[in-house]
């Protein structure tokens, strides 16, 4: 439904997620933003133009996925010749799932791939025409540990012994400046930790520690240098040990601690491990899918970057191995799983897919919140947190007005 630009929409008969609580309240939207209704009532003497009955449901900010490699048959690292088509279709498909903003993720690749692709993964405003908002690329690798490469191609990995010059040669610093949200690197790889302050200063990107064999001491050093996130906690990192818990040990620090992505598909991380992380640092959790091209498609063989992967029984493995290679979960499934795994409240689970990722990226004034002035990216959920309706920039997204293709 198309509305005049200045029309006001009221959401009613709902529990609204705000101030870390679910409260019985109304929500008002105008010109794609959440508004304070006081001005409407007392100064403009207006009433809402449109009223939306939420039927007793939960009103939440739209979900934010900061790590997704692909979906619907498309892969951000492999489909370099049709990258605009990939972004367009993935953005629209994710929107209909309730993911209203995301970071398209590339796996470790050769420099020519980055120079070809990154400029197509930069920030883009979400709408029913564009699909979910693109928040900028998440560039995962290739400055990662060969011992913890996971599904990344060994031949693409490299060090940063020449500091910023290596990042310039690999990505292009201007590409990072304009198009990237954050980069995953291993702190112990030569030159990486020392380069973090300059890389942040020169480009403004956020840094995440991951695919790493780092000790806790090295991980702490990287955090102090500016690496404010951990990529897919527990996966592809130094395993927890009582005398050196590696990157995982950052969750046990007394002072400030990083945000951490965690994949709650029931495959990547045991439910008990999810609970340990949640109890250690509940306000740092960011639910991610780490989904790949087979998400929402039948079982079979697919690509993750240049790697062939086998998708069967809900699992994704590098073909011919038992190495996990991403997931096929949706973020909505991960939210529900988080409650099942931890017993957390609905508020905590929802904030792990909304507020926390926005805070990690420094955009929580406009995303991941229903505060006045925020973008009107809104979900109506039932009591079991199944998505009932999706709104982006205040406009409802439906199968009728959001059309996309799957690449089979």
Please give the positions annotated as active site. 290
124 strand-pairing partners: 134
393 φ, ψ to 5°? 50, 35
**CA distance linking residue 350 with residue 60, whole number of Å:** 7
Helices (H) then strands (E): counts for the chain: 11, 21
Residue 56, CA distances (Å) to 12, 13, 16, 383, 404 in order: 8, 5, 10, 8, 30
**CA distance linking residue 197 with residue 299, whole number of Å:** 43
Structure-block tokens of residue 134? 């693109």
Crossing angle (nearest 10°) for helices 216-225 and 192-203: 20
- What is the DSSP-derived secondary structure letter of residue 252? G
Q: Which residue from 310, 337, 313 is spatially nearest to 324, judged by alpha carbons?
A: 310
CA angle (347, 27, 14) in 5-degree steps: 55
CB-based contacts of 129, cutoff 8 Å, min separation 6: none
| Number of neighbours of residue 20 by Cβ within 10 angstroms | 11
163: burial class by Cβ within 10 Å (0-12, 13-18, 19+)?
middle
| Number of neighbours of residue 185 by Cβ within 10 angstroms | 31
What one-character-per-residue DSSP string does 216-243 give? Answer: HHHHHHHHHHTEEEESSTTTTBPPP-TT
- What is the DSSP-derived secondary structure letter of residue 40? I
Q: Which residue from 335, 352, 322 is spatially nearest to 259, judged by alpha carbons?
A: 352
Would the CA dihedral through 307, 112, 175, 71 be positive or negative? negative
């Amino acid at each position: 439904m198309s509305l005049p630009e200045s029309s006001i929409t009221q959401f009613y008969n709902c529990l609204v997620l705000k101030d870390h609580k679910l409260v019985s309240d109304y929500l008002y939207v105008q010109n794609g933003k959440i508004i304070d209704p006081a001005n409407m009532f007392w100064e403009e003497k207006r009433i809402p133009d449109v009223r939306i009955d939420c039927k007793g449901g939960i009103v939440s900010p739209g979900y934010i996925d900061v790590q997704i490699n692909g979906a619907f048959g498309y892969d951000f690292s492999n489909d370099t010749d049709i990258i605009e088509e990939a972004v367009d279709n993935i953005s629209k498909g994710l929107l209909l799932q309730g993911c209203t903003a995301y970071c398209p993720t590339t796996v470790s690749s050769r420099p020519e791939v980055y120079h070809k692709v990154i400029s197509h993964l930069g920030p883009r405003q979400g709408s029913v025409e564009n699909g979910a908002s693109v928040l900028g690329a998440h560039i995962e690798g290739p400055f990662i540990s060969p011992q913890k490469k996971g599904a990344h191609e060994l031949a693409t990995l490299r060090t940063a012994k020449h500091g910023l010059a290596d990042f310039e040669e690999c990505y292009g610093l201007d590409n990072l400046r304009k198009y990237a949200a954050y980069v995953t690197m291993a702190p112990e790889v030569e030159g990486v930790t020392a380069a973090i302050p300059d890389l942040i200063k020169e480009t403004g990107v956020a840094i995440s520690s991951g695919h790493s064999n780092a000790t806790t001491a090295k991980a702490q050093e990287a955090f102090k240098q500016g690496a404010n996130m951990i990529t897919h906690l527990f996966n592809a990192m130094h395993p927890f040990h009582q005398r050196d818990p590696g990157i995982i040990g950052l969750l046990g620090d007394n002072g400030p601690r990083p945000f951490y992505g965690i994949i709650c598909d029931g495959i990547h991380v045991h439910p008990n491990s999810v609970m340990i992380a949640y109890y250690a640092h509940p306000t740092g959790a960011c639910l991610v899918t780490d989904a790949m091209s087979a998400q929402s498609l039948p079982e079979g063989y697919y690509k993750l970057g240049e790697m062939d992967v086998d998708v069967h029984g809900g699992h994704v493995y590098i073909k011919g191995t038992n190495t996990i290679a991403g997931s096929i979960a949706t973020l909505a499934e991960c939210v529900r799983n988080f409650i099942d795994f931890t017993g957390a409240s609905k508020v905590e689970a929802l904030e792990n897919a909304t507020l926390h990722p926005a805070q990690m990226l420094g955009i929580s004034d406009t995303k991941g919140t229903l505060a006045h002035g925020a973008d009107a990216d809104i979900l109506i959920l039932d009591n079991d947190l199944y998505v009932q309706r999706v709104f982006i920039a205040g406009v409802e997204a439906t199968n009728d007005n959001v059309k996309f293709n799957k690449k089979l």
